[in-house]
Amino acid sequence: MSASVLPPVSTTHRLGLDPIATPDRLLLGPGPSNAHPTVLQALSRTPIGHLDPLYVELMGEVQELLRYTWQTDNRLTIPMSGTGSAAMEATLANTVEPGDKVLVAIKGYFGHRLADMAGRYRADVVTIERPWGEAFSLDEIEQALITHKPAILAIVHAETSTGVLQPMDGIGDLCRRHDCLLLLDTVTSLGAVPLFLDAWKVDLAYSCSQKGLSCPPGLGPFSMGPRAEAKMMGRQGKVPNWYLDVTLLNQYWGTDRTYHHTAPVNMNFGMREALRLLAEEGLENAWDRHRRNAEALWSGLESLGLELHVPAELRLPTLTTVRIPEGVDGKAFSLYLLNKHGIEVGGGLGALAGKVWRIGLMGYNSTPENVERLLTLFATELPAFRASAPVAAAVA
């Protein structure tokens, strides 16, 4: 019997690397935002088993604190393993049956993503649209519900691509009256701006860990109310996505604790700490802090002669779109902020590409110090990027 002969090990892909050394950036863009130091410490703890009774207890704490943060009693409130888009997909995957009419109210980039996903689950997707920087009126929504009679209305609360906060008054009531589920994207609002899932009669919601919650990316909070649960339980076929199937996940997050997939335990350590810190601060205080700091940013930018893209009454405290002045190379300025000052600011997406900067003040990053630091840089450094400025100043 001859021993099997192994081929020689190839060293083609064997990089010889130094230990990781990432810079400490200040992330004032559309996300991720900086994580709270306490959250980072929690992430580096030794993992425990995902069926360990202590972990099971922690799961309950995360669920309960998510309910507080969302102001909901929804039993099915869990962090999906994956980023916000995984939780977004979970809301649709579990409730959409082929041929269901899904109405997506699109006023920015993430509305388009919802429409794309709903189509992949074979929904009959219909859309209404507003220009990037505007919100929907109750009347427009009602007209669309009457015209299309959808099974689900999907809308984004805080549009990170435009900096618009959709007013929610009355939308939930309309959806009940027209027998339709209300699906709300709360990715850039959770933990940072007033949000009341139950009082607003929201049936399905999702968010992410890396914006208002001061965690790194990796978890997507998900919540499903009783009306959405009834639709899911009445489906003809299986949920067409195994990983995000809430009927299966419920056996792990519910009382059975049956293995489905290995929970990212350390991410949930971080989430637990992030939510604990938020509960300690109190939701009203966190919401106030975000509004105060955003208002300071807005008035500071305006006093520098810069124009904000969104009218004051629709402005989103977590994300501000600032029009890039005529003659300024917006990309060059944000690269300069990143390379010289370690500060990330976002650029425009879609209809706003090249037209705005996107400044995020989310979670741990929403502080008067960060506002002050950024305003000082806009005041002192931006003039060199104006077309009329001497070239030497721009490269200094």
Return residues touching ligand PLP (CB under 6 A). 31, 83-85, 88, 110, 156, 160, 185, 187-188, 208, 217
State in angstroms the smallest separation of the CB of 372 from ligand PLP.
25
The least distance separating ligand PLP from the CB of residue 351, rounded to whole angstroms, comes to 15
**Least Å distance between CB 210 and ligand PLP?**
6
Length of the chain: 396
For residues 82 and 268, what is the distance between their CA atoms, to the nearest angstrom? Answer: 11
Question: Of the two residues 251 and 266, which places its CB atom closer to ligand PLP in the complex?
Answer: 266
CA separation for the pair 122, 120 (Å, rounded): 5
- Count Cβ neighbours within 10 Å for each residue of 103-126 and write b for 16 or more, e otherwise: bbbbbbbbbbbbbebbeebebbbb
CB of 341 to ligand PLP, least distance (A): 24
CB-nearer residue toward ligand PLP: 127 or 251: 127
Contacts by residues 370-373 (CB-CB < 8 Å, ≥ 24 positions apart): 370/26, 370/28, 370/293, 371/293, 371/296, 371/297, 371/300, 373/26, 373/343
* Shortest separation between residue 10's beta carbon and ligand PLP, angstroms: 35
Q: Which is nearer to ligand PLP, 174 or 208 (CB)?
A: 208
Under a CB-based contact definition with an 8 Å cutoff, are residues 386 and 327 in contact? yes
Residue at shortest CB range from ligand PLP = 84
Closer residue to ligand PLP in complex, CB, 211/382: 211
Smaller CB separation from ligand PLP, 156 or 232: 156
Cβ proximity to ligand PLP, 347 vs 378, nearer residue? 347
Write down the least CB distance from residue 86 to ligand PLP, Å. 7
Six-digit token string for 183: 């699906």
Strand 319-323 versus strand 101-106 pairing type: unpaired
**Is residue 234 within a helix (H) or strand (E), and if so which, with residue range?**
none
Shortest Å distance, C-beta 112 to ligand PLP: 11
Nearer to ligand PLP, 117 or 384 (CB): 117
Helices 109-120 and 84-95: angle between axes, nearest 10 degrees:
40
Q: β-strand 346-347 against 356-360: which pairing, if any?
A: antiparallel
Helix residue ranges, H only, 71-202:
84-95, 109-120, 138-148, 171-177
